[in-house]
């Protein structure tokens, strides 16, 4: 992606260990027919000067807001600052305002030790919008205890307090601008006399009307030793209000006042200091020089914020993941997403590339479908597969204006907000073993099984369940076993799969069906009289189960009269000995010897009564 409007303020100068500050960085960005104004006032009764004639601040001060006609307020921020570590609550038009954040800087004075200064800000958009034009009064900014406890502030003339409101507004008659508000708290003084702030990767499309504004504190008009403000190494000024050698001198550009004591609300036109095509703007602040007596003098200047207004007609594509749909036991996911062109000053064209990543690995590509006007968006959906090489827990990212290698095709206002991410856990389903279910062979290695008994081995919590003969059937919910309580196996061995619902997915278990040869049951009587009932020596659990068995029948004299096997059951006729007449033998008691020919069973012997 083109790195076009990545605003990161870099402080290139190594600061002294005597200074503590918070770097000024991008706070808010506004794109559209926007501009800004500022109003506020000091609480110093006059400028701090060499005679040290006061050591207090006013209890309140006023300033007027007059919005240009036909404008809409977009945002408003109140800044207040002073000596000390901070007063976090003030009043504006008798409305209590609590600080959203507080910045502090420390200055190590050679005579008075460490002196702290603070700045607070609060979003007051609702208050300014509802109140509108008129006089605003700030009160309850109290630093009196700080000045009393540490005489160093007044002794070195850095006792101050003041306030300022920034108002960003929309006017359809304005060009499409990008307004960038940077804030923090940084300091220059006799210890550190120079500071360079670099607004990097600026894309200046049109320099007409370009301007830069500053909110600074504590600068003194009478201390103009080596004081300068440079843009791209060119000294800027707006005399007579802000001469080239005294930029921070208690002035307010918006009111043309030089009585904003120990504060500065200044705006400079910089269209002659930047060029179309510039990709950076360098700001340089200096203070400090020797007076006529050879003594080094320097002003103490605290920079609170910087604001730029640049004509910049560009789209700004951003992405949002709305939902990611997962399927059980499937590495395919479906992503619902939205592409926006909200924070922009131009149309986003159609067919902008979109890349999908899983743990930074490219897994899919698509395109935007329509041209997106300023403030517009479109929804999309894409189905992608997570590679087997990646874990089940992955981070999914969608990046707009990305061809799949981190680069795009559209120049944007902000190239750092193109992607969105969401962590997911794939719905993998472990297949867990259960103990086998056993049942007696009913012939030819088949048996009937009660599959529901498998539930005794798990905690199903009453969830719905179903049984399947294959995993494929289970995954597709096809060919469910209809009567699991009376199921006959179809093969030996056979595995059965159990599916138990467990939101948002389900659990899979498997177990084997074991067909056992159970001990046969030998009847004690049979009646071979051809009445169709009990006509043969029907040993239950023998035939087609113990297929290698041998059956011997003896009469009461111990004579072998019959020898049979799996294919030749005894129907009461003799096939051995002198009675081998293929006729039913006489009624009486006969003795059997049954060799099952299986190592788990001994030879069975007993008697049976044959009754014709």
110: exposed, middle or buried (Cβ count in 10 Å: 0-12, 13-18, 19+): exposed
The pLDDT of 167-173, averaged and rounded, is 95
* SS3 state of residue 109: strand
From 93, 86, 153, 146, select the one nearest 121 (Cα to Cα).
86
Rounded distance, CA 555 to CA 585, Å? 9
Residue 588's pLDDT band, with cuts at 50, 70 and 90, is very high
| Average predicted confidence (pLDDT) for the chain | 89
Tokens of 591: 């003795």
Q: Residue 270's pLDDT is what?
A: 87
Rounded distance, CA 114 to CA 183, Å? 23
For the beta sheet containing 89-92, the strands, ordered from the edge strand earlier in sequence to the opposite edge, are 60-65, 134-139, 89-92, 95-98
> Among the ranges 22-31, 44-53, 273-282, 531-540, which has the highest mean pLDDT value?
531-540
Rounded distance, CA 278 to CA 264, Å? 28
Q: Residue 488's pLDDT is what?
A: 95
pTM reported for the whole predicted model: 0.57
Is residue 18 scored above 60 in pLDDT?
no
Lowest mean pLDDT segment, chosen from 10-24, 115-129, 253-267, 525-539: 10-24
Each domain of the chain, given as residue ranges in start order, spans: 9-311, 318-425, 431-516, 519-612
The pLDDT of 477-491, averaged and rounded, is 94
More confident residue, 523 or 275: 523
Is residue 2 scored above 60 in pLDDT?
no
pLDDT in tens, 193-207: 998 888 765 566 667
Is residue 514 scored above 70 in pLDDT?
yes
CATH of domain 431-516: 2.60.40
Residue 533 CB contacts under 8 Å (≥ 6 apart), including other chains = 527
Distance of CA 538 to the CA centre of its chain: 73
User: Which residue, chain included where needed, has tokens 């179809």?
Assistant: 490
* SS3 state of residue 313: coil
Residue 143's pLDDT band, with cuts at 50, 70 and 90, is very high
Parallel/antiparallel/unpaired status of strands 431-433 and 505-516: parallel
pLDDT in tens, 74-92: 999 999 999 999 999 999 9
* SS3 state of residue 321: strand
Per CATH, domain 318-425 is 3.20.20.70: no
Residue 499's pLDDT band, with cuts at 50, 70 and 90, is very high
Tokens of 163: 């306030």
CATH of domain 519-612: 2.60.40
């Amino acid at each position: 992606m083109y790195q076009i409007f990545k605003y990161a303020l870099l402080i290139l100068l190594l600061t002294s260990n005597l200074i503590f500050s918070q770097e000024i960085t991008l706070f808010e960005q506004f794109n559209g027919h926007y501009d800004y104004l500022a109003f506020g006032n000091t609480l110093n009764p006059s400028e701090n000067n060499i005679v040290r004639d006061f050591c207090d601040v006013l209890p309140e001060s006023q300033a007027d807001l007059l919005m240009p006609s036909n404008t809409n307020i977009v945002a408003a921020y109140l800044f207040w600052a002073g000596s000390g570590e901070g007063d976090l609550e003030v009043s504006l038009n008798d409305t209590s305002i609590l600080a959203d954040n507080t910045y502090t800087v420390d200055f190590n004075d050679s005579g008075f030790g460490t002196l702290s200064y603070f700045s607070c800000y609060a979003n007051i958009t609702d208050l300014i919008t509802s109140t509108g034009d008129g006089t605003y009064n700030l009160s309850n900014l109290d630093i009196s205890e700080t000045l009393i406890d540490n005489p160093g502030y007044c002794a070195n003339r850095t006792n101050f307090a003041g306030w300022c409101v920034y108002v960003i507004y929309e006017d359809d008659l304005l060009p499409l601008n990008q307004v960038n508000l940077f804030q923090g708290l940084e300091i220059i003084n006799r210890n550190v006399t120079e500071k360079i702030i670099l607004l990097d990767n600026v894309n200046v499309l049109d320099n007409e009307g370009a301007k830069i504004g500053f909110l600074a504190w504590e600068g003194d008009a009478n201390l103009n030793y080596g004081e300068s403000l440079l843009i791209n190494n060119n000294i800027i000024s707006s005399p007579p209000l802000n001469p080239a050698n005294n930029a921070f001198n208690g002035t307010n550009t918006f009111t043309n006042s030089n009585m904003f004591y120990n504060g500065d609300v200044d705006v400079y036109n910089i269209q002659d200091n930047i060029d179309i095509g510039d990709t950076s703007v360098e700001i340089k602040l200096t203070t400090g020089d020797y007076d006529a007596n050879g003594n080094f003098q320097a002003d103490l200047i605290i920079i609170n914020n910087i604001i730029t207004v640049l004509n910049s007609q560009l789209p700004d594509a951003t992405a949002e993941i709305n939902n990611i749909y997962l399927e059980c036991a499937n590495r395919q996911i479906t992503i619902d997403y939205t592409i926006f062109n909200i924070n922009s000053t131009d149309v986003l064209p159609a067919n902008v590339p979109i890349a999908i990543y899983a743990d930074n690995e490219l897994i899919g590509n698509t395109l935007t479908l329509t041209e997106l006007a300023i403030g517009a968006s479109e929804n999309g959906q894409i189905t992608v597969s997570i590679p087997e090489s990646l874990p089940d827990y992955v981070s999914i990212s969608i990046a707009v204006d990305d061809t799949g290698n981190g680069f795009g095709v559209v120049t944007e206002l902000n190239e750092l907000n193109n992607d969105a991410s969401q962590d997911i856990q794939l719905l993998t389903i472990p297949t867990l073993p259960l103990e086998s279910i056993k049942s007696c062979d009913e012939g030819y290695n088949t048996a009937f099984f009660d599959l529901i008994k498998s539930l005794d081995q798990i905690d199903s919590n009453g969830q719905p369940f179903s049984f399947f003969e294959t995993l494929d059937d289970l995954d597709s919910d096809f060919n469910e076993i209809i009567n699991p309580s009376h199921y006959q196996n179809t093969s030996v061995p056979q595995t059965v799969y159990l599916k138990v619902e467990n939101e948002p997915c389900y659990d899979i278990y498997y177990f084997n069906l074991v067909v056992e040869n159970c001990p046969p049951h030998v009847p004690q009587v049979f009646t071979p009289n051809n009445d169709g009932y009990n006509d043969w020596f029907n040993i239950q659990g023998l035939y087609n189960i113990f297929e290698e068995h041998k059956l011997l029948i003896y009469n009461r004299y111990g004579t072998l009269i019959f020898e049979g096997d799996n294919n030749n059951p005894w129907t009461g006729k003799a096939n051995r000995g002198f009675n081998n007449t293929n006729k039913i033998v006489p009624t009486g008691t006969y003795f059997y010897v049954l060799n099952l020919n299986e190592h788990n069973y001994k030879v069975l012997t007993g008697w049976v009564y044959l009754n014709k």
